Chains A and B, each alone.
Chain A
């Protein structure tokens, strides 16, 4: 069955760039949409953005000036780059399949999440 796995550094210094990758296994990335979602400690979920396998993306306007999402179909991966990070970007970052049209655009499959701390 389809599985997602996030990878990347757990600690990033302020003002640096956060880079994460999500590897899709058990299926092809060359269909559907793929999203990043984050959750600051003790807080609610925040949708970051999605990318389609074609490269078309949609980014949360709150992060648009700092965020780049990309996809590598040859590796079955999609990635996130968030620049000029601050402590407010400290969160667990999840990758997920979605918005999934077959389920009214829900996020139906999630990675386990990766904790990212912004600190010097």
Chain B
């Protein structure tokens, strides 16, 4: 199975800040990297697919990049509603696997 390692596991930032979450794959996955946002008690919501393509309706302050097996999710200009847990997922091969999540708290 492909292992997805996210860092940090949690972070705290202020409104207006720029935050970056990293996800590393245990082997090459091309650009088959997905980012989801999950708020407490809710289902995950798709943010970014193909490492950097923004899902329709997602604010442009969210962006994704890829470099080899390292992927980043950046939120520029943090908003209170961005408080959530963020997961990466590889869609390169089955079994599809997720990172352990990054909990983002807004100060």
Contact = CB atoms under 8 A, between A and B. Distances in A.
Contacts, number: 64
Contacts of A105: 32, 34, 91, 96
Interface footprint category on B: 20 to 34
25 contacts: A44-B87, A44-B98, A44-B99, A45-B44, A45-B98, A46-B98, A47-B94, A58-B94, A60-B95, A94-B44, A99-B91, A103-B53, A103-B55, A104-B31, A104-B32, A104-B34, A104-B49, A105-B91, A105-B96, A106-B46, A106-B49, A107-B89, A110-B45, A111-B43, A113-B43
A35 B44 CA distance: 14
A13 interface: no
A89 B31 CA distance: 31
Contact of B96 (A47, A62, A94): A47
A100 to B, nearest CB: 8
B9 to A, nearest CB: 11
Given A61-B95, A107-B44, A112-B43, 13 more contacts: A60-B95, A99-B91, A103-B50, A103-B53, A104-B31, A104-B49, A104-B53, A105-B32, A105-B34, A107-B34, A108-B55, A110-B45, A111-B43
Contacts of B34: 104-107
Interface string A94-120: 101001000111111011110000000
B50 A104 contact: yes
A104 B54 CA distance: 12
Contacts of B69: none
B46 A103 contact: yes
Nearest to A48: B95
B100 A103 contact: no
A120 to B, nearest CB: 26
Given A103-B53, A104-B31, A62 B95 contact: yes
A99 to B, nearest CB: 6
B35 to A, nearest CB: 9
